[in-house]
Amino acid sequence: MPVSDISFLAIDLELTSLDVTTSQITSAGWVSGRAGDIDLDSAYYQVVKTSSSLEQSPVIHGLTADTVAQGCHVSDVLDALMPFAGTHIWVFHNARLDTGVLDKALRENGRSLDNIVVLDTLKYAVYQLEKQHQVLPPNSATLTVCRQRLGLPLAPAHNALDDALATLQLWFAQYYTYNGGTKNVTIDDFLSIHVAKCKKMGKKS
């Protein structure tokens, strides 16, 4: 299937820490699109009620204990997200952390997902940068810097929905910048360079 016919869902999770083993989801946002066309009606944002300490989260994401206490249970977010598993390729900027936490949350809530295709815009950026640089310049692959490089406007960072939207814009900009004019690019081309991966998540069956 050519990439231009595939639906993508960019997801961003805001977490209590950067440690997969202890981190919890404080909010989630996503938005879907296809062939450069982002459907603003699909935008989703939800604050999650978490038991563990918020640590640095209030500082970075602006989520305070009060807001988090009014949030929903993480299983509600998972329920909303799971229908996109078979239909969309999931896009993250730095997938490792977010999919790790997602995997843990699915397991803890007794859910599982097979054959999710996960695409990482950070990996794609690094792949392109490595063509030009032996050693990558510091901070050359953050979401903001990657967007700047492709001429996208500044976007407010560290809100789950805004980061998801920014990630999806980045993906489309990357796709068209590096593959523009070429027909028949498929997702296999991204699997082969390890920018996309098939994943199983959640409890082992």
Partner 1 sequence: MSAMAQQVKDFLTVSAPFDSLSDDQQQKLCKGASLLYLTQDNISDVTGAHKGRVFLIQNGQFSVKDSSDSERHLSEGDFFGYPAVMDNTRYPLTVSVDKPGLVFSFTAEAFAHTLSIPDVNAFFENSRQNALQNQALAASNSMWLYKALADVIDNAPVTAIESTSIQQAASVMTEQRVSSLLITSDNKLSGIVTDRDLRSRVVASGIDVDLPVSEIMTANPARIANNRTMFDAMALMSEKNIHHLPVVDRVSREPIGMLTASDIIRHQRGNVLFIIGELAKAESLYELTRLSWQLPHYFAAHAKRAGDFDIAGKVLSQATDIMTRKLIRFYQRDHGDAPMGYCWLVYGSQAREDQTMGSDQDNGLLLERKPDEAQAAWFADMADYVCQGLGKCGIKLCDGNIMASNPDLRLALDDAIEEARGWVNAPTSEAIMHFNIFLDVRGVAGDLGLFRQLQQARAPLLKQKMFLAALARHNNEVPVPLSMFQKFVYQKGHSKKDCIDLKVHAIAIINNIIRIYALANEVMVPSTPARLANMPANSGLSTRDGQNLRDIWLFLNRLRWRHQLTQNVTDNLVSVSELSSIEKHQLKAAFKAIERSQQAAVMAFSGGMG
- Our finding on whether 29 is near partner 1 (CB under 8 A) is yes
Strand, helix or coil for residue 175: helix
- Our finding on whether 5 is near partner 1 (CB under 8 A) is no
Q: Collect all residues with Cβ–Cβ distance below 8 Å to 141 and sequence separation of at least 6.
A: 122, 125, 126, 129
Choose which of 83, 137, 138, 181 interacts with partner 1 (CB under 8 A).
Answer: 181
Distance CA 92, CA 30 (A): 10
- Compose the 141-170 pattern: x for residues touching partner 1 by CB under 8 A, - for all others: ----------xxx-xx--x-xx--xx--x-
- Our finding on whether 44 is near partner 1 (CB under 8 A) is yes
Choose which of 2, 18, 19, 39 interacts with partner 1 (CB under 8 A).
Answer: 39
Single out the segment in contact with partner 1 by CB under 8 A; choices: 39-47, 69-77, 78-86, 95-103: 39-47
How many residues lie near partner 1 (CB under 8 A)?
32
Cα distances (angstroms) measured from residue 115 to each of 12, 80, 144, 176, 177: 19, 18, 30, 26, 28
- Our finding on whether 173 is near partner 1 (CB under 8 A) is yes
Quickly list DSSP for 42-106: EEEEEEB--SS--TTHHHHH---HHHHHTSB-HHHHHHHHGGGTTTEEEEESSHHHHHHHHHHHH
Strand, helix or coil for residue 5: helix
Least gap, CB of 65 to partner 1 (angstroms): 21
Least gap, CB of 171 to partner 1 (angstroms): 9
Question: Can you give the binding site for partner 1, defined by CB under 8 A?
Answer: 4, 29, 31, 33, 35-45, 151-153, 155-156, 159, 161-162, 165-166, 169, 172-173, 176-177, 180-181
